[in-house]
Amino acid sequence: MVEAVIFDLDNTLMDFMRMKENAIDAAVTAMIDAGLTMEKDRARAEVFAIYDKEGIEFQKVFDNFLEDHLGAVDWKILSSGIVAYRRAREASLVLYPHVNMTLTELLKRGIKLAVLSDAPRREAWLRLCYLQLQHVFDSVVTFEDTGFRKPHQTPFRKVLEVIGVKPEHTLMLGDWPERDLVGAREAGMITVFARYGFAFERKPEGLEGADYVIDDIRELLDIITNLQKNGSADG
């Protein structure tokens, strides 16, 4: 019996990388309009280079970028970039197709829903609120809740503990095989690879070590229906 589904957040429920790219493009354009003397492609590349070094959630990326380029922060340029970034981020923060329909159907079936994310707690909750999903999930576990990132077992054990469901009765859906699926499999969960959200240049092949692979989130419903029918998740 499948009793719970745990979702990764970024690139599983929402297209995080497209949002990030649109927001950075808008920020760079605004900074150039405010007086930054740099070609857009070069500025964009340098911003993403900082993300590569500090992590994609780094909150002072534009401060560091301006300090590297100008030797100090120009507050007009910085503020212009931040405002443009936030406006573009909100406009681009959308769910993948069929997410709302799938979540609604899972709730109707009485299945517990949770989010397990490596994002900072504040950012994860802001995204969920922007997407109007803050009331959907029984639990949201982020990096600050455990101090560990996937595939470490602590986050997976924490979310299972909070929702009160055994791993063999739980599905984990994620787009990053080496983190989401490896960790979930080691924890004893049923794993589902969200191939539609795979954000890397290399193309995923096969199941990427997952029990199932999907190209649309609504395929999750058929997987659960078949598991319930066949008794494959009875533990």
Q: What pLDDT shows up at residue 198?
A: 72
Q: Which long-range contacts (CB under 8 A, 24 or more apart) does 47-53 make?
A: 48/24
Same domain, 143 and 213: yes
CATH of the domain at 194: 3.40.50.1000
Of 37, 70, 92, which residue is a domain's last? 92
Among 92, 121, 155, give the residue marking a domain's end: 92
Q: According to the model, what pLDDT value does residue 190 have?
A: 97
Cα 142 to Cα 159: distance, rounded to the nearest angstrom: 9
Q: What are phi and psi of 55, to 5 degrees?
A: 110, 145
Do 102 and 206 belong to one domain? yes
Domain residue limits at 101 = 4-15+95-230
Helix (H, G, I), strand (E, B) or coil at 212: strand
pLDDT tens for 118-164 read 999 999 999 999 999 999 999 999 999 999 999 999 999 999 999 99
Query: Residue ranges of the chain with pLDDT lower than 50?
Result: 201-202, 206, 234-235
- Note whether 102 and 196 are same-domain residues: yes
What pairs with residue 172 in β-bridges? 6, 191
What pLDDT score does 233 carry? Answer: 53
183's tokens = 């960790």
pLDDT of the residue at 209: 79
In the prediction, which pLDDT does 229 show?
A: 86
Domain count, the chain: 2
Looking up tokens 């109707």 gives: 108
Give the pLDDT confidence score for residue 235 in this predicted structure: 44
Within the chain, what is the greatest distance between any pair of CA atoms?
A: 64
Give yes or no: residues 206 and 140 share one domain. yes
Residues in contact with 62: Cβ distance below 8 Å, sequence separation at least 6, in sequence order: 27, 31, 47, 78, 81, 82, 85
